[in-house]
Amino acid sequence: MTNCPLCQGNLRQIHNNFTGYIEGQYFPIFQCQQCQSQSIQSQEVDYNTIYESEQYPWYNKFIEIAKHHPKPLKELARLSAIYKPVYDFINTQTKPLRILDVGCGYGYLVHSLRRESHRALGIDISSKAIETANKNFGNYFSISSTPAGKYDLIIATEIIEHVQDPRGFIQQLMESLNPNGALLITTPNKNFYDSINLQAIWKTDLPPVHQTWITREGLELAAKPFAVAFYNYPLLYADNYFNLLLEARAARNNYTPLPKINKDKTHTQPDINLPKKILKSKTGNRMSTVLARIITQDHPTLSACVYK
């Protein structure tokens, strides 16, 4: 591997044997000398195994919100930073949009958008996810990695870091937009960690589940020649103060808050050693989060709209 998958810059190896998601797997980590994004040598991943994990209770929680909450999109945006830019973008629209959610998972975002009168569809490569989405929300979902048709808005929340060719991924999605359409991307933000720890290595989901850890510069260069507008999270945005505190702590410690999969495909929960006083104190969580945001002037989630 000689060139960055985002900007084609030169790479240098910064870690020889980084622990992978599957027990016994290890990966070299590379950092781009131009955009500072990190990457591994691309590798196929079985996402059905991930969706079968019981360590992700928010999947079921978000399904229930989409089904029963009077304003599910607003509630998703309140609970998770990856949906906040989607909610804000939708609020600027004056007419229903034709929308595609790429990597739609269990379909709760698509259903929430349809409840806002938008013509939303979803695709995912996981048969398990699509089966669950169609069962819960109707036949608006299909197993695919390639868009069919044209859309006013394509959403790819926390997807680009999973794909083997992020530049090609963006180009492909842009070709599926109507004139004046937009591609909305979110991904874990390496810049946030760099502002806390310049030596941070792969503070994101374990490889090969994530194949890249992306900076603003990397995303902007990967999207060329299209225009990129980055989303700025409100300083006091209260998406999930506890998770943001974990992100800040992870930037200073050598662990990642993601369950690992053993060789027998069972999952183990990571050991997150936070002080009990902080764990019990909502005020402590909030103040620590706000302080981290003031210091970094950034957010753990990187979000941008790419325009034709």
d(CA 8, CA 234): 32
d(CA 225, CA 306): 10
Q: Is residue 278 over pLDDT 60?
A: no
d(CA 263, CA 256): 19
d(CA 67, CA 60): 11
Q: Which of 191, 37, 265, 38 is nearest to 27 (CA)?
A: 38
Query: pLDDT tens-digit profile of 167-207?
Result: 999 999 999 999 999 999 999 999 988 877 668 899 999 99
Half-sphere exposure of 63 toward its Cβ, with a 13 Å CA cutoff?
A: 17
The residue written with tokens 């945001």 in the block is 293
d(CA 43, CA 170): 19
Calculate mean pLDDT across residues 97-123.
97
Collapsing DSSP to helix, strand or coil, 219 comes out as helix
Q: Which of 280, 271, 270 is nearest to 242 (CA)?
A: 280
Looking at domain 11-307, its CATH superfamily turns out to be Vaccinia Virus protein VP39 (3.40.50.150)
Lowest mean pLDDT among 154-163, 228-237, 295-304: 295-304
> pTM for this one?
0.84
